[in-house]
């Protein structure tokens, strides 16, 4: 089957959405499908080229996901649709008409779903992004619900699917396919240094909804813990302030903020416990799956989509979002090395058997064939 992926994001990073898109495209290509990508996402464009996937760069302007973007979309959308339609016509003329289109961004979902469906092409929306005010209070939400009549909406977790149903989308048109991760890389000959004590870590953007501040507060009364935070974001100054306050109170620095590591698998393997402390809707949480695949005992909150794909207490600990006290209790329960090993081994087996790229790709193939 000829399949086109599209993505026109407000901004692009080397993050979960980009990783999942790459793994899905490569998985479908390995199964014999003919893949192509159209969009402005530099990360996916670069990875498509590396993977030998046909790609075309196209910039159409910002999606309507900010206040000004939503207002200006009113007069920008005509030109944006012309650009998208011209690009699609080019594919039709060249004999590369896709049989299915996976749309990842709001712009093309609003502007092209009806037109693409009218060409006899199956339309799928992949919903990676966190559902926040940008969507709940978006003036184009009614138009989006109308456009959804022409598409199948694929959410990356049951948590996300439930939220789409609460916003009024047709239950018959919304499905959930959990993300999958590849097997972890082999151990790096130069492993990440392992601090003394119980080494806890997280990988997260430094944004309010990621709950990194909650994680810091949760270890206030746990002097045995050292914490490594890997991430960047708009709350960096605030997080550094919390780190300084902890250092002054403890008398030594035990929380370290990292902006980059050379080998993520080695970072995971340096940990005793991995925590994904998201305090608001986190569509899936690929980093938790990656840590679990490395055999690391993991704690996630119930705001993380992955929580619905795990056997709580056996494969991972699931705690209420935004509750530092309950996260602290969960961390303390994992001071026992036997409990950590038990949880890590069960989590690893669960991820490798159910939350892998092949399982995810097979699920997308079944949806394509419907």
150 vs 154: CA distance, rounded Å: 13
> What integer pLDDT is reported at residue 187 of this predicted model?
63
Pull the structure tokens for residue 23: 């793994």
Which H or E run contains 198?
strand 198-203
- Identify any residues that bridge with 335 across adjacent strands, giving them in sequence order: none
CB-based contact 263:188 (threshold 8 Å):
yes
Q: Which of 316, 303, 306 is nearest to 345 (CA)?
A: 316
Q: How far apart are the first and last CA of the chain?
A: 13
Strand pairing class (198-203; 122-127) = unpaired
Q: What is the mean pLDDT of residues 80-105?
A: 89
Chain length of the chain = 370
Lowest mean pLDDT: which of 63-72, 192-201, 252-261, 339-348? 192-201
Whether pLDDT at 189 is above 60: no
DSSP letter (8 states) at residue 313 = T
Share of the chain above pLDDT 70, in %: 98
125 vs 151: CA distance, rounded Å: 7
Say whether 344 sits in a helix, a strand or coil.
Answer: helix
Q: CB neighbours (10 Å) of residue 233?
A: 14
The per-residue pLDDT for range 216-254, each reduced to its tens digit, is 999 999 999 999 999 999 999 999 999 999 999 999 999
Phi, psi of 195, deg, nearest 5: -70, 170
Average pLDDT, the chain: 94
Widest CA span in the chain: 69
Helices marked H in the chain: 16-30, 42-50, 67-93, 106-118, 133-136, 141-147, 158-166, 212-218, 236-250, 264-269, 286-293, 324-333, 337-354, 357-369
Whether pLDDT at 197 is above 90: no
The per-residue pLDDT for range 266-312, each reduced to its tens digit, is 999 999 999 999 999 999 999 999 999 999 999 999 999 999 999 99
Distances from the Cα of 64 to the Cα of 17, 68, 125, 132, 226, angstroms: 19, 8, 16, 13, 41
Q: pLDDT category, 124, cuts 50, 70, 90?
A: very high
Q: CB neighbours (10 Å) of residue 34?
A: 15
Confidence (pTM) = 0.93
251 vs 242: CA distance, rounded Å: 14
Say whether 192 sits in a helix, a strand or coil.
Answer: coil
């Amino acid at each position: 089957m000829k399949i086109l992926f599209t993505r026109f994001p407000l901004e692009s990073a080397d993050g979960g959405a980009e990783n999942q898109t790459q793994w899905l495209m490569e998985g479908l290509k390995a199964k014999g499908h003919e893949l192509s990508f159209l969009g402005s996402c530099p990360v996916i464009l670069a990875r498509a080229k590396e993977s030998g996937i046909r790609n075309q760069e196209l910039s159409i302007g910002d999606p309507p996901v900010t206040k000004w973007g939503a207002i200006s979309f009113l007069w920008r959308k005509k030109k944006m649709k012309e650009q998208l339609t011209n690009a699609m016509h080019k594919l039709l003329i060249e004999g590369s008409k896709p049989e299915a289109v996976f749309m990842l961004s709001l712009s093309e979902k609003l502007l092209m779903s009806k037109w693409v469906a009218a060409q006899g092409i199956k339309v799928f929306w992949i919903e990676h992004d966190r559902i926040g005010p940008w969507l709940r209070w978006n003036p184009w939400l009614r138009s989006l619900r109308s456009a959804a009549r022409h598409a199948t909406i694929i959410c990356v977790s049951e948590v996300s699917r439930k939220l789409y149903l609460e916003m009024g989308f047709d239950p018959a048109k919304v499905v959930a396919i959990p993300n999958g991760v590849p097997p972890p890389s082999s151990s790096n000959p130069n492993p990440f240094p392992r601090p003394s004590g119980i080494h806890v870590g997280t990988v997260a953007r430094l944004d309010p909804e990621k709950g990194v501040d909650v994680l810091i507060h949760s270890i206030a009364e746990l002097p045995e813990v050292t914490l490594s935070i890997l991430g960047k974001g708009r709350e960096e100054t605030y997080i550094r302030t919390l780190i300084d306050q902890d250092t002054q109170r403890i008398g030594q620095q035990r929380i370290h903020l990292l902006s980059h590591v050379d080998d993520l698998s080695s970072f995971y393997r340096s940990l005793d416990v991995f925590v994904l402390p998201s305090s608001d809707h986190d569509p899936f949480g690929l980093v938790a799956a990656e840590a679990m695949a490395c055999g690391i005992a993991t704690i996630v909150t119930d705001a993380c989509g992955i929580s619905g794909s795990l056997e709580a207490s056996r494969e991972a600990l699931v705690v209420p979002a935004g509750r530092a006290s309950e996260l602290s209790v969960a961390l303390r329960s994992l001071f026992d090395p036997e409990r950590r090993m038990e949880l890590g081994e069960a989590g690893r087996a669960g991820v490798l058997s159910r939350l892998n790229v092949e399982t995810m790709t097979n699920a997308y193939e079944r949806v394509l064939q419907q």
